[in-house]
Structure 1
């Protein structure tokens, strides 16, 4: 088998693992971001405080530190995750914390007249938030959320630190066997660039 046949075969396995991580992390991080934003804006003081503390903590930690805490520190407390799920959980928490700020800012930007109009129509607060506020806020937050998704695609390469055999991990291992860094890492970079632009 030629170098390229062997390399592409291995790389595809890593690409599938990366796509699996992203397929779970992206939608759940968006859902977490929406939930945290709603909790901070509409929750009582305790819920808002807890959500705000969670966001502040996760935004204050480097993603790699969060990843290592989930995989190496939590087992000391009896909480165990496989490398794959440790990476997914860390990515969801970190990305969700950032996305919540985009959504919260977007919610705050909605004119108060929208709420007054919803109340005049007899809507409950929950109906107002679900049908009036969140659809508009999500559209306004979409550019920031899209950027965060791109960051998540690129940061997924950090999963190799806890032993996930994803795209970068496979490329790194294959380079240690073949030592052809230009071909290997250029191809890997092109795949990441492709994922980040679609």
Structure 2
């Protein structure tokens, strides 16, 4: 079998533009996922507040128990039935962010629970409120412990972003499909797309490793 990458080289600017869209939508989804994950993770620790704990637990169970693709389709195709028509980009960010938030929340909860209980008790004994102790004592230590599993979640989200092409978002996968439709060189194009995702995930891994090293060097974890 002969390989012909000429359609890939000819369409390389479109693939790069698609990669930029992939980075943008993934970055926005990561930000939303981290904010949601932090709030829900903290909510899952407040068993003394049954309503908060119940809502957070239901959110995690629902989102983790259904496919991301179905969630994206509900936002893009389902919401218009209720008179709410959102741009495809917004649906992609919301879908991936909400999906990621459920997994990030478990990472946050696990990291916080791994910190010795005595530290919270000691902080409360010197007059700190629960919120103050969490913000100044517990979270700074838990953050470093979150980095490795968060790295896995971020990488998974980058790869899952390929699904947003089904919402007509012009990401790298969508641009690749356009090249295939006129060149019929699917293998070569998919290899190029795989290379783009490999670079994106590799850069993410290096960035997170650098952040973890900086945090550890700063003495934020024992």
Shift of 1:137: 1.9
Shift of 1:119: 1.3
Partner of 1:22: 26
Partner of 1:49: 54
- Could you say what secondary structure the match of 1:42 adopts? coil
Mapped partners of 2:63, 2:16: distance in 1: 32
Is residue 2:106 matched to residue 1:101?
yes
Partner of 1:37: 41
**What whole-Å deviation, never above 9, does each CA across 1:43-84 have from its counterpart, x for those lacking one?**
611011111101110000110011001111112122221111
Partner of 1:124: 129
Shift of 1:5: 4.4
User: Structure 1 stretch 71-80 or stretch 58-67: which is displaced more?
Assistant: 71-80
- Could you say what secondary structure the match of 2:148 adopts? helix
Shift of 1:11: 0.8
Shift of 1:6: 2.5
Partner of 1:13: 17
- Could you say what secondary structure the match of 1:158 adopts? helix
Mapped partners of 1:78, 1:40: distance in 2: 33
**What whole-Å deviation, never above 9, does each CA across 1:18-40 have from its counterpart, x for those lacking one?**
11101211122111111100111
Q: Give the alignment's TM-score, normalised by structure 1.
A: 0.95
Partner of 2:94: 89
Which of 143, 148, 154 lines up with 1:143 in the alignment?
A: 148
User: Structure 1 stretch 59-68 or stretch 99-108: which is displaced more?
Assistant: 99-108
RMSD over aligned CA atoms reads: 1.3
The runs of 5 or more residues in structure 2 that have no matched partner are: 1-5, 204-222
Mapped partners of 1:4, 1:56: distance in 2: 42
Partner of 2:217: none
- Could you say what secondary structure the match of 1:143 adopts? helix
Mapped partners of 1:76, 1:4: distance in 2: 39
- Could you say what secondary structure the match of 1:69 adopts? helix
Q: Give the alignment's TM-score, normalised by structure 2.
A: 0.85
Partner of 1:167: 172
Mapped partners of 1:132, 1:78: distance in 2: 46
Shift of 1:3: 3.6
Runs of 4+ in structure 1 deviating by more than 4 angstroms, as ranges, are none
Mapped partners of 2:8, 2:171: distance in 1: 18
